Amino acid sequence: KQEVTQIPAALSVPEGENLVLNCSFTDSAIYNLQWFRQDPGKGLTSLLLIQSSQREQTSGRLNASLDKSSGRSTLYIAASQPGDSATYLCAVKGNTPLVFGKGTRLSVIA
């Protein structure tokens, strides 16, 4: 059974810092991995999707990497801003629908 773990559970950083969020998964037989953002009381916003054949994806200040063989992904956020404060969720898709981690709650302090 696929399990997804996100570390750390919560993170607080000063504005302007670069930061890395980690995601690990137990079954490397995946089609893709997605990173989502969730604001309090809101739904999920897809940030980046990495297909299993890809190593990384970039969108603006965000960069996500995927190492399928080791079951790891990282989300790198450059020059963090208070508006980046949210919960970030990692999810993998194998032969079942998406399996999510519990998320990392990020606070960026001005």
Partner 1 sequence: GAGVSQTPSNKVTEKGKYVELRCDPISGHTALYWYRQSLGQGPEFLIYFQGTGAADDSGLPNDRFFAVRPEGSVSTLKIQRTERGDSAVYLCASSLTSGGADEQFFGPGTRLTVL
Query: Which residues form the interface with partner 1 (CB under 8 A)?
Result: 4, 31-32, 34, 36, 41-46, 49, 51, 89, 91, 93-103
Backbone angles phi, psi at 82, to 5 degrees: -55, -30
* Minimum gap (Å) between residue 89 Cβ and partner 1: 6
* Minimum gap (Å) between residue 110 Cβ and partner 1: 25
CA–CA separation, 25 and 16 (whole Å): 29
Read out DSSP for 62-101?
EEEEEETTTTEEEEEE-S--GGG-EEEEEEEESSSS-EE-
Nearer to partner 1, 10 or 109 (CB): 10
Nearer to partner 1, 18 or 31 (CB): 31
Nearer to partner 1, 34 or 65 (CB): 34
